[in-house]
Chain A
Amino acid sequence: MKRLIPRLLLAPAVATLFLWMIVPLVMTLYFSVIRYNLLQPDVTGFAGLENFEYFVTDPSFATSVVNTLLLLGSVIAITVLLGVAVALLINEPFAGRGLVRVLLISPFFVMPTVNALMWKNMMMNPIYGVLAQVWAFFGAPPVDWLTDFPLLSVIIMVSWQWLPFATLIFMTALQSMDREQLEAARMDGASYGQQLRYLYIPHLGRSVAVVVMIELIFLLSIFAEIFTTTGGGPGDASTNVAFLIFKQALLNFDAGVASAGALFAVVLANIAAIFLIRMVGKNLDK
């Protein structure tokens, strides 16, 4: 009886959350095994694995999976490494630290489409962009970023937007370090490199895990930056799984194939998550 009342009181909240999760999942599973195209309402019926087969046999499928993993891995690597470096830099007090911190955090609040268009038209344009002017100043021919390095350009845009997030998390983690331990290490004559290796990095282990997991969830579905800048091209050089689902299914208003693609994205997300969490988790136990 004592355990029943708390459970009963929790039940409505838990039930709502459960419904929130299960209803879309079941509907997606259902749509992926039937023929459902908004523009062809007369075509119905059980399709079995037809939608999955259609999605996987797309010539761009393999490239899009590779691009998704490349995009994910690069942005995570860049934001974690640079984030730790920047957080360590602004850890010690200096004049204007508050203002610098605010400026460093602000890119995260720019809307993804605005971010992408600013990079495309203001920075990366080979005729009138800022980077073109810098290149010309040093006498080198301007680089056509979006044409020659489309995936790299998208990686740069997304990293610029997510670096503040990583910096913020690492900054707060560093603030919670044991000052006395650091003092003791310095007094014992530990060099900065040794402090890093034995004190700072192990302490940041948990926050690195948090940053990696959150970025993993959000970066798998990057769409706005690709749609507004390269349109997935040239060819399929910057097409990721989310853009492929858009191209294949949403443009056609084909809910069946779109659901099949979404389920693939879920499988991909889980595989990536298992690898990354195992990698980071191993370090946590040490």
Chain B
Amino acid sequence: MKFRLATVFAAGLMAAGLAQAATELVIATVNNGHMIEMQKLSKNFEAANPDIKLKWVTLEEGVLRQRVTTDIATKGGQFDIMTIGMYEAPIWGKKGWLQELKTDAAYDANDLLPAIRSALTVGGKLYAAPFYGESSMLMYRKDLADKAGVKVPENPTWPQIADLAKKIHNPPNTYGICLRGKPGWGDNMAFLSTLVNTYGGQWFDMGWKPQLESKPWKDAITFYVDLLKNYGPPGSSANSFNEILALTNSGKCGMWIDATIAASFVSDPKQSKVADQMAFAQAPTAVTPKGANWLWSWNLAIPAGSQKVDAAQKFVTWATSKEYIQLVAKTNGWANVPTGTRKSTYASPEFQKAARFAAAELKAIESANPTDSTLPKSPYVGVQFAAIPEFQAIGIAVGQQMSAALAGKTTVDAALKASQVAAEREMKKAGYYK
């Protein structure tokens, strides 16, 4: 008995010792569906790589951004792999805070969608690998459009959309169009930046001076405020993605322009009452098609100076590979694979069958170009944001003013003037110009 006990004890110690020898990777990630799925499937990775153990830290987007930025700026070393957005990747890549990702032929980096890949590359080096990408597009109720006798083209213009909104506006059953209004650089400003782009405007000119009182901004914001005031739901100035998704799924919105992922929710009969009536088109344009739809991706990156670069690279390339997408398709079906990253996903006939919106989404992502999204030339990278550290604070300040204009608390001109003042203050303080 004592001998058996001793052997078991010794075996236990040896196993513990072996486990100590394994590399532990701490992964900071965002709490969206695709990442939660990845956590479940990561035991496949651990089985294939017994010397690597994964530890997951799942956080909400705002908290994740704060923690990850603080950690990498102070070289805290808490996280071995970080989930970062398309906003952080170029900024940190340029500062030298991220490890360059070296990929092999099997990974096929050329399969990554070019728009997304270019946004994550600085000086020819890839600094983050995308696991989810999106653009924005128009989702509308085909039954209401047919009843109004309007055929929505694949590339509509804003005047056409305003006209359709007027025809199908029928409160309180249906509101003509629902758009984001809650203040935030990733909330209402994500949509408004694309609206300003397509009206021929930009955030900063080549001398980094904010352009918020220029004609394109005035036209775009006046159009937005009038459109929502006349044909939008009440409470728009506090509505973001989740609120409008609830409204659309219950049939209250005739049209919605937002992230392409929303298309999968509103056309899912389990979630949406109007799943079969939803149709899709490209985001509307006005003066120019440039920058009319946004580009965003969630990516995995490795901090520079990490001691576990090899193990981390192994995981990052596994999680963003073609094989991983096949794995998700086998386990959960093609309707649930992470989209917006690889050409091969869209080429797959099973995916096209499972996702009605696939063709529109691919077209939207391919038409977005973060290095050339404004009519006049711009010094910054990014479609619905400017990839500079000051943008978050400027974005929320401007977002608050736009929300106030929408709520009728201030005129469009006063809101734009206050936004211009706020933006200039930030840029002066950051030293872009005196």
Q: Does A189 contact B (CB under 8 A)?
A: no
Question: Which B residues have a C-beta under 8 Å from some C-beta of A?
Answer: 66, 69-70, 73-74, 91, 172, 182-184, 187, 233-235, 237-238, 243, 247, 252, 389-390, 392-393, 396-397, 399-401, 403-404, 406-407, 409-410, 415, 418, 421-422, 425-426, 429-431
Tell me the interface secondary structure of chain B in the complex: helix
User: Contacts of B409 on A, CB cut-off 8 Å?
Assistant: 234-235, 237
Q: Please name the residue on chain A nearest to B187 by beta carbon.
A: A231
User: Contacts of B243 on A, CB cut-off 8 Å?
Assistant: 121, 125
Are A127 and B247 in touch, CB under 8 angstroms?
yes
Bound state CA distance, A250 and B63, in angstroms?
A: 12
Are B404 and A234 in touch, CB under 8 angstroms?
yes
Bound state CA distance, A54 and B425, in angstroms?
A: 9
User: Contacts of B234 on A, CB cut-off 8 Å?
Assistant: 126-127, 142, 144, 147
Are B403 and A231 in touch, CB under 8 angstroms?
yes
Bound state CA distance, A251 and B400, in angstroms?
A: 14
Q: Does A159 contact B (CB under 8 A)?
A: no
User: Contacts of A187 on B, CB cut-off 8 Å?
Assistant: none
User: Contacts of A230 on B, CB cut-off 8 Å?
Assistant: 183, 238
CB distance from B410 to the nearest CB of A (A): 6
User: Contacts of B182 on A, CB cut-off 8 Å?
Assistant: 231
User: Would A252 and B183 be within 8 Å (CB), given that A126-B234, A234-B407 are in contact?
Assistant: no
Contact residues, A198-217 vs B (CB, 8 A): none
CB distance from B126 to the nearest CB of A (A): 22
Are A147 and B73 in touch, CB under 8 angstroms?
no
Bound state CA distance, A137 and B313, in angstroms?
A: 61
Contact among B247, B399, B406, B429 with A231 in the assembled complex (CB-CB below 8 Å): B399
Are B403 and A41 in touch, CB under 8 angstroms?
no
Q: Please name the residue on chain B nearest to A231 by beta carbon.
A: B183
CB distance from A130 to the nearest CB of B (A): 14
Q: Please name the residue on chain B nearest to A141 by beta carbon.
A: B234
User: Contacts of B421 on A, CB cut-off 8 Å?
Assistant: 59
Are A233 and B183 in touch, CB under 8 angstroms?
yes
Contact among B70, B396, B406, B422 with A234 in the assembled complex (CB-CB below 8 Å): B406
User: Would A253 and B389 be within 8 Å (CB), given that A146-B235, A147-B237, A229-B238 are in contact?
Assistant: yes
Q: Does A184 contact B (CB under 8 A)?
A: no
Bound state CA distance, A125 and B244, in angstroms?
A: 12
Are B73 and A232 in touch, CB under 8 angstroms?
no
Contact residues, A221-256 vs B (CB, 8 A): 229-237, 239, 247-248, 250-253
User: Contacts of B397 on A, CB cut-off 8 Å?
Assistant: 247
Q: Please name the residue on chain A nearest to B237 by beta carbon.
A: A147
CB distance from B235 to the nearest CB of A (A): 4
Q: Does A172 contact B (CB under 8 A)?
A: no
Bound state CA distance, A229 and B182, in angstroms?
A: 9
Q: Does A194 contact B (CB under 8 A)?
A: no
Are B252 and A127 in touch, CB under 8 angstroms?
yes
CB distance from B67 to the nearest CB of A (A): 12
Are B184 and A231 in touch, CB under 8 angstroms?
yes
Contact among A41, A125, A148 with B407 in the assembled complex (CB-CB below 8 Å): A148
11 examples of A-B residue contacts, CB within 8 angstroms: A39-B69, A39-B389, A59-B421, A232-B400, A233-B183, A233-B237, A234-B183, A235-B409, A235-B410, A235-B418, A253-B69
Are A234 and B400 in touch, CB under 8 angstroms?
yes
Contact among A120, A144, A248 with B393 in the assembled complex (CB-CB below 8 Å): A248
Are A40 and B389 in touch, CB under 8 angstroms?
yes
User: Contacts of A250 on B, CB cut-off 8 Å?
Assistant: 66
Bound state CA distance, A120 and B401, in angstroms?
A: 21
Bound state CA distance, A120 and B235, in angstroms?
A: 11
Bound state CA distance, A30 and B246, in angstroms?
A: 48
User: Would A253 and B70 be within 8 Å (CB), given that A127-B172, A127-B247, A229-B238 are in contact?
Assistant: yes
Q: Does A38 contact B (CB under 8 A)?
A: yes
Contact among A41, A59, A229, A231 with B422 in the assembled complex (CB-CB below 8 Å): A59
Bound state CA distance, A148 and B390, in angstroms?
A: 30
CB distance from A210 to the nearest CB of B (A): 34
User: Contacts of A234 on B, CB cut-off 8 Å?
Assistant: 183, 237, 400, 403-404, 406-407, 409-410
CB distance from B18 to the nearest CB of A (A): 39
Contact residues, A104-156 vs B (CB, 8 A): 120-121, 125-127, 142, 144, 146-148
Are B399 and A147 in touch, CB under 8 angstroms?
no
Q: Please name the residue on chain B nearest to A124 by beta carbon.
A: B235
User: Contacts of A235 on B, CB cut-off 8 Å?
Assistant: 400-401, 403-404, 409-410, 415, 418
Bound state CA distance, A40 and B390, in angstroms?
A: 10
Are A252 and B410 in touch, CB under 8 angstroms?
no
Bound state CA distance, A248 and B425, in angstroms?
A: 11
CB distance from B88 to the nearest CB of A (A): 10
Bound state CA distance, A233 and B396, in angstroms?
A: 10
User: Would A147 and B238 be within 8 Å (CB), given that A38-B74, A40-B389, A234-B407 are in contact?
Assistant: yes
User: Would A231 and B396 be within 8 Å (CB), given that A38-B69, A127-B235, A147-B407 are in contact?
Assistant: yes
Contact among B70, B237, B425 with A38 in the assembled complex (CB-CB below 8 Å): B70
User: Contacts of A59 on B, CB cut-off 8 Å?
Assistant: 418, 421-422
Are B238 and A39 in touch, CB under 8 angstroms?
no
Given A234-B403, A237-B404, A250-B66, output 16 extra A-B contacts at Cβ < 8 Å.
Answer: A43-B431, A54-B425, A59-B418, A144-B235, A146-B237, A147-B234, A230-B238, A231-B184, A231-B399, A233-B404, A235-B401, A236-B400, A247-B393, A247-B396, A252-B392, A253-B389
Bound state CA distance, A246 and B171, in angstroms?
A: 38
Are A41 and B393 in touch, CB under 8 angstroms?
no
Q: Please name the residue on chain B nearest to A43 by beta carbon.
A: B431
Bound state CA distance, A148 and B430, in angstroms?
A: 35
